[in-house]
Structure 1
């Protein structure tokens, strides 16, 4: 095994950061963003097949309902980029992430990220994190372009892009269904329980230090 694939929310990053910080930041900024960038408003109106007047309300409703929509993610990404660049946003990562990334890369592992959030959003979180710029530790980023995270074919697509056997990849996530899909194609899996252990069919860890212990024990 030579590759560690990480989920974002609930794995490297507190899920509350996304839902209580990033989403509200975009929702509050979206109207002003379009006033300052009328070309973007026109692009969104075309993409959403609605009038310019309805764009803001439609996107805000999507944010409220946590809809996985490509145009919403594009606009959110632009707004978040401004926020990160201005210093108003800092990407949350747990305190064990930086030392784990450092150790894994030094030990010869490659690290990748797979999230329903766009690749741009991933790079912003890790590029402007509270632990500094972590992007140089990351070899690859995957989003819904390879498929939905609950579908086995998505993990097959990742292996094809990596040109690796599934058995050479360890997937870390806090979501059982994602791990089920990954293991069904042959990936190794560990479920992260950042807020207390629950029943799971997978190996589990409460933090990346425990993941490292599993790696040290060669239990895969």
Structure 2
């Protein structure tokens, strides 16, 4: 199946879309979980860590929660696959350091990087919108098996700087930040609820249905579908 769009920019989900959910669940989640305790104990005074801890305490209604309690909550949120901003912040800190040390190398499906390079070369601007923090996204694209891909990406959005991924207002906020008309934006995701929200905001949207991913058998309604980025054709635009 092939779908064609004439757009100015493409916004990418990561997990289940550009990259395997299994890598995140089986590699990244355990990597962070094993290091939360040390992070909270030794670096709790760092502004970003302290802010995330305060957000955890506020969310659970326990302003006096100690580091052990916060660590326990973070583990429970991972088990629930909860898209909580403070969890994503702390994971992002640890993942960025793991990528920088060479402990981690990000995963991309084989069809993704060649297509992103072609779209970028054709003048299509590329952005990322993921529930993972901006820090985690930056590390992810900077440490692929094919090297640093950040040069392909014009901007990064997460649930903190854009909002929840199943709310149309988040997509309106991203469009305003990018400065592109709503109908000139294309969102790629494996989750129907996110596609619905993007379309409700006036975006174009394509469901990426990859075999073996958690949403592979989901009901995508009338959203166009692709099983690989190579099935998506964009009208080439000259860069200016």
Write the deviation string for residues 49-97 of structure 1: whole angstroms up to 9, x where unpaired. Answer: 3123323222222222222323222221221122111111111111112
d(CA) in 2 for partners of 1:128, 1:107: 24
Match of 2:175 among 146, 159, 164: 159
Aligned counterparts, 1:69-218, within 5 A: 69-144=84-159, 145-195=161-211, 198=217, 199-200=219-220, 201-212=222-233, 215=234
Does the aligned pair in 2 maintain the 1:5–1:169 contact within 8 Å? yes
d(CA) in 1 for partners of 2:72, 2:200: 40
d(CA) in 2 for partners of 1:193, 1:45: 36
Q: How far off is 1:169 after superposition?
A: 0.6
Q: How far off is 1:111 after superposition?
A: 0.3
Q: Name the CA shift for 1:211/1:45 in 2 (closer, same or farther; >3 Å).
A: closer
Task: Tell me what 1:52 maps to.
Answer: 67
The unaligned stretches of length 5 or more in structure 2 are 1-6, 58-62
d(CA) in 2 for partners of 1:169, 1:45: 35
* Worse-superposed segment, 88-97 or 192-201: 192-201
Does the aligned pair in 2 maintain the 1:92–1:129 contact within 8 Å? yes
Q: Where in structure 1 do 4 or more consecutive aligned residues deviate above 4 Å?
A: 44-47, 196-199
* Worse-superposed segment, 178-187 or 5-14: 178-187
* Worse-superposed segment, 64-73 or 159-168: 64-73
When normalised by structure 2's length, the TM-score is 0.82
Higher relative contact order (CA 8 A, sep 6+): 2
Q: How far off is 1:37 after superposition?
A: 3.2
Does the aligned pair in 2 maintain the 1:34–1:40 contact within 8 Å? no
Q: How far off is 1:177 after superposition?
A: 1.3
The unaligned stretches of length 5 or more in structure 1 are none
Aligned residue pairs total 215
Does the aligned pair in 1 maintain the 2:192–2:207 contact within 8 Å? yes
Secondary structure at the counterpart of residue 141 of structure 2: helix
Secondary structure at the counterpart of residue 82 of structure 2: coil
Q: Name the CA shift for 1:162/1:45 in 2 (closer, same or farther; >3 Å).
A: closer
d(CA) in 1 for partners of 2:146, 2:134: 19
Q: Name the CA shift for 1:66/1:40 in 2 (closer, same or farther; >3 Å).
A: farther
Task: Tell me what 2:8 maps to.
Answer: 2
